[in-house]
Amino acid sequence: MRRLLLEDERETLSHEYPLLRRSPGTERGNRKNVVLFVLESWTARHVGALGGRSDTTPFFDGLAREGALFDQFFANGLRTPEGIFSILCSFPNQPLRRILGRASSYLVRWRTLSEILAEVGYDTIFMHGRDLEFDQMSSFLKASRFERIIDRRSFPPSAPRRGGTWPGYDDEEVMRHAHREFARTDGRPFLGVIYTMNTHEPFMTPEGYPLLFAPANDVNRFLNALNYSDYTLKVFFDLARKAPYFDNTIFVLVADHSRTGDTFNLANQHHIPFMIYAPGIVAAGRQHVVGSQLDIVPTVLGLLELRTLHASWGQDLLRIPADRGFAVSVAGGQIRWRDHGHLVDDGLTGARPLLCEPPVDPACRADTWRQSTAIGETLKSVPENS
C-alpha cells in the first residue's frame, strides 16, 4: 500500500503503521474554511455534467464549469454510513458487513478529518435535517470530534417541518440553517458538513415545487428529488456568496453513494459526482484521475496546506499524476478495483474474477481476462494484499 499510495515511501514515519505520514504545509495551515456537502444518492449517470439530462442538475452543472469536476470518481460502498465513514476516516469499506456494524470499528482510534481540524482550532459542525440515530451514525460523529451535531431536534420552531417516513426538514431549510451557522463563526475557521436527504427513498419534494417529470415511477420521483436537491444548492450558494466567509472557503461536493434502484452496470454502480469549488485556489476544469472517497482527506489537507499526521488510505488527487489514481469499491461480497484502464470484479468465492476495460467497454459487457491474464492477476493481487 505504501507503494500504491505514496510517490516517495520515505514520507512514512513508522514500520508499525505503514501509512502514517505528515501532509505538507505548516502547523496551522492557511486557515481556509471547508464546507463539505454529502449529497444523498446523487448518481453520476443522472448528473448533467457527467452525462445525465441537462435539465436535472442545472445549478451543479454551472458550478462545475467554475470548479474542478472529477469525472472518474467512485464511492467505496453502497450505503450512507459507508460513504460518510470513508469520507471522514479515509479507510476502505469492508465486504459483507457495513463498516460501522463491526465491533472492531469501535476499538480503533480513527483520525478523522474533523478531529484533525479540531486539533488546530477549527469549529466543526455536522448538519442534517432528519434524525442521525441510525446505524450508529450519531455515536460515530460524536467520537469524530464534531463540536456541533445538528439534526431535526435543533432547528428553530419557525422552520417548516415535514412528517412521513423521515420526519424532519427539507434540504432547503437545511441549507438556510447551515448558512446561518457558518455565518456566526465570527472569523474562526470551520469545517461544515451538510448531509442532504430529499433524494433518499421515498424521494421527497416539497408541496408546490415544480416537478420535471410525472411522478409515475421511482425513477421519475428520484429525478424530481434530484432536481429539487440541486435547487437547494443554489439556495445555499446565493446566501453564501453575500457572506464574509465565502471567499475564504473551499467547497467540496460529493455523494455518499449512487442510487442502484434502476439500470446500472459494474462500471457505473459506484460512480458518483465529486467537485471542488474554490475559485482562485483550485483551477476550473475536468479532472480525469481515478479516485474515491478515500482520497478526500489527503486532498483537503493539501488544499489547507496543513502539516499534520494522518494514516489515510488515499492520495491527494490534485498532486498525483493521472495514471496513479485508483479506486476500490465494495458491493456486498464483491470487491472492485479500478484504475485508468481496467476494472476487476472479484466475488471472493475462489472463482476467477471478471476483468473489463471501461474506457473502451463502458458497460463492462466483455470479460477480457483470457486476453489479459497477466494484467488481471496483477490487479487482483492488489486489493487482496491491501
Q: Domain 20-325 is in which class?
A: alpha beta
- The string of pLDDT tens digits covering residues 221-279 is 999 999 999 999 999 999 999 999 999 999 999 999 999 777 778 888 999 999 999 99
- The string of pLDDT tens digits covering residues 139-167 is 889 888 999 999 998 888 877 887 777 88
The sign of the torsion formed by the CA atoms of 140, 145, 146, 148 equals positive
Residue 39 and residue 255 in contact, taking contact as beta carbons nearer than 8 Å: yes
User: Cell numbers of 154, please?
Assistant: 435543533
DSSP state of 191: E
Main-chain phi, psi angles of 82, to 5 degrees: -65, -45
pLDDT value, residue 385 = 46
Q: What average pLDDT does the structure give for the chain?
A: 91
Report the distance separating Cα 70 and Cα 386, nearest Å.
Answer: 24
Taking only Cα atoms into account, the Rg of the chain, rounded to an integer number of angstroms, comes to 20
pLDDT-derived band at 332, boundaries 50, 70, 90: confident
- The string of pLDDT tens digits covering residues 41-78 is 999 999 999 999 999 999 999 999 999 999 999 999 98
| Model pTM score | 0.94
Report the distance separating Cα 381 and Cα 383, nearest Å.
Answer: 6
Report the distance separating Cα 286 and Cα 53, nearest Å.
Answer: 18
Q: How many CA atoms lie within 13 A of 295 on its CB side?
A: 28
Q: Return the SS3 of 334.
A: strand
Residue 132 and residue 151 in contact, taking contact as beta carbons nearer than 8 Å: yes
Cα torsion for 36, 260, 327, 194, to the nearest 10°? 10
pLDDT value, residue 222 = 96
Residue type, 53: R
Cβ neighbours of residue 186 closer than 8 Å, sequence gap 6 or more: none
pLDDT-derived band at 6, boundaries 50, 70, 90: confident
DSSP state of 157: T
Nearest alpha carbon to residue 113 among 125, 105, 102, 103: 125
Report the distance separating Cα 377 and Cα 161, nearest Å.
Answer: 54
- The string of pLDDT tens digits covering residues 298-321 is 999 999 999 999 999 999 999 999
Where along the chain do its domains lie?
20-325, 341-385
Report the distance separating Cα 195 and Cα 125, nearest Å.
Answer: 11
Using omega within 30 degrees of 0 as the cis cutoff, is the peptide bond preceding 279 cis? no
pLDDT value, residue 1 = 82
DSSP H helical ranges for the chain? 2-5, 58-64, 80-89, 113-119, 137-143, 171-183, 218-240, 296-303, 373-385
- The string of pLDDT tens digits covering residues 161-184 is 877 778 899 999 999 999 999 999
Report the distance separating Cα 375 and Cα 360, nearest Å.
Answer: 16
